[in-house]
Structure 1
Amino acid sequence: MALPLLKYAPTTQNSRVKAFRVGSDEDPKAVALDKVLSRDDQNFVIESAYRQLFFHAFKVDRDHTLECQLRDGQITVRDFIRSLALSDTFVRSFYNLNNNYRLSRHLVEKLLGRPVYSQAEEIAWSAVIMTKGLKGAVDAILDSDEYLENFGYDTVPYHRNRVVGSRALGETPFNITTPRYDAYYRGIFGFPQIVYTGAGKAFPVRATQRRGGNPEDYLPWVRSLPALRNAGNAASSASIDYLSKVPYRSIGR
């Protein structure tokens, strides 16, 4: 028997009202399919959807059938988002590598465009994942009033309300605050890894020039010594009869 969605409430009054602010570069950018006029605009909508769900989509992660259906108007953006959230890439990269609490945080951030209100909301959506599975949780979020009021059927979900009035900068993006892999898997994979992307230091030409006193300069002279020239003709130590070389001494003499 599936449990109903548990009740949870926003942690502050500010979460219940819409933000009132002057537009800036930190404001979220809505991408809607009903406003596109060219194929390039359609590609931008598709790329925005991939970036929202996967942060970066490789060639193997793309579904060209879904893309064609979206361009032809056979499915809506919400259907496209639903298919990406239930795709094999999302299952392998998020569902299989995280527990239900962390997965619920991923779904709320990526599909509703906001962080979870509290641990109570994580528990509520974790119960949905536990009873209905990933598909049931995705359907419940996409069919919720909050999703339909903010994104509707043709708008790609985005990070809402990044600007906070008392801060100079907005909130950190979800893909940084909530990375794909949990701390346990990051430790297995050896993350974080320091990757140096700067230019390598080039040594001057004079540093590669050989100066006097280098032992390698005397190697040809050492090889030309007589002792080393005749070393190959010397008998091997394994063929020497050491017992015959020891002088005989009888007892009593």
Structure 2
Amino acid sequence: METNMSLPLLKYAFSSQNQRVVSYDVKPGDEQPKIFTIDSLPVAQEMDEIIWAAYRQIFSEHQILRVTRQPLLESQLRFNQITVRDFIKGLVLSPIFRELNYNANNNYRFAEMIVQRVLGRDIYNEREKIAWSISIVNGIEGFIDALLNSDEYLSNFGYDTVPYQRRRIIPQRSKGEIPFNLKTPRYGSEFRDQIATPQFSWAGPVRRFKPQEQQPKAGDPALFLSMVKTIRRY
């Protein structure tokens, strides 16, 4: 009797990204993210902000459209039928998210993007990107569950807090870097190259059309110039 066995997650080394370093900030500043959580039983307006923050983190502002809205998930969250963690999972596994992000990228870029959106940090190294991309082979839902059930996710966001970018990487800000959830999610380089590459070739000579009113008339110096160019020099 055959049983389906999931591929284990590869081991990868951590790097000293600043979200792993204790902050010594004296007072909140631009580097301190705003926390959106349902711990304090938010009122309707606060719940709207929580839902908006979740869409902004997962879909990015580039993809927040009418078709990306998930009314059923929103209703369940408002009436405490699901947790914020369940809401995040529902957004990532929604058909529209898959169409806009998974179908338009390879596993490597999709894994990197989801780590940024769900765990709120960049990947540590190429080894981690490969590890998570292999996890996608087990199925997208299994990949997302592995992230949401990880100690890293639960210790930072738990069940009631919307994921956020955990402290921006300061050196990159001077280079014009922006938060992960504001980066355009599509396309990967191979998809951009495919779109930019012509799908047909023309073997014959290229003829340029010039309107009659733009054709040179008798006595136009352009006629003499073209004639001079045809004369061979000895």
Is TM (by shorter chain) over 0.5? Answer: yes
CA contact (8 A) 1:111 1:141 kept: yes
CA contact (8 A) 1:164 1:171 kept: no
Q: 1:83 maps to which residue?
A: 90
Return the match for 2:24 from 20, 37, 43: 20
Q: 1:123 to 1:39 in 2, by over 3 A?
A: same
Residue 129 of structure 1 and its aligned partner are, at CA, apart by 0.6
More displaced 10-residue stretch of structure 1: 91-100 or 173-182: 173-182
Residue 66 of structure 1 and its aligned partner are, at CA, apart by 0.8
1:65-84 → structure 2 map (5 Å cutoff) = 65-84=72-91
Return the match for 1:140 from 146, 149, 156: 146
Distance in 1 (CA, whole Å) between partners of 2:17 and 2:35 is 25
Residue 99 of structure 1 and its aligned partner are, at CA, apart by 0.8
1:19-168 → structure 2 map (5 Å cutoff) = 19-22=23-26, 23-56=28-61, 57-130=64-137, 132-162=138-168, 164=170
Q: 1:249 maps to which residue?
A: none
CA contact (8 A) 1:164 1:170 kept: no
Q: Does 1:3 align with 2:37?
A: no
Amino acid in structure 2 at the alignment position of 1:38: V
Q: 2:188 maps to which residue?
A: 182
CA contact (8 A) 1:26 1:170 kept: no
Q: 1:65 to 1:124 in 2, by over 3 A?
A: same
Q: Does 1:172 align with 2:178?
A: yes
Distance in 1 (CA, whole Å) between partners of 2:126 and 2:32 is 27
More displaced 10-residue stretch of structure 1: 5-14 or 46-55: 5-14
Residue 164 of structure 1 and its aligned partner are, at CA, apart by 3.2
C-alpha distance after superposition, 1:147-190 (max 9, x if no partner)? 00000101000111115389769952114556321123335556
SS class of match (1:137): helix
C-alpha distance after superposition, 1:104-158 (max 9, x if no partner)? 101100000000000010011011112x111110000000000000001010001
CA contact (8 A) 1:30 1:156 kept: yes
1:165-244 → structure 2 map (5 Å cutoff) = 172-175=178-181, 179-187=185-193
Q: Which has the larger radius of gyration?
A: 1
SS class of match (2:72): helix
Distance in 2 (CA, whole Å) between partners of 1:63 and 1:167 is 33
TM-score (ref. length: structure 1): 0.68
SS class of match (1:66): helix
How many positions carry a matched residue from both structures?
A: 189
Bigger relative contact order, structure 1 or 2 (CA pairs below 8 A, ≥6 apart): 2
Distance in 1 (CA, whole Å) between partners of 2:33 and 2:114 is 19
Amino acid in structure 2 at the alignment position of 1:48: A
CA contact (8 A) 2:117 2:181 kept: no
Q: 1:169 to 1:76 in 2, by over 3 A?
A: farther
TM-score (ref. length: structure 2): 0.73
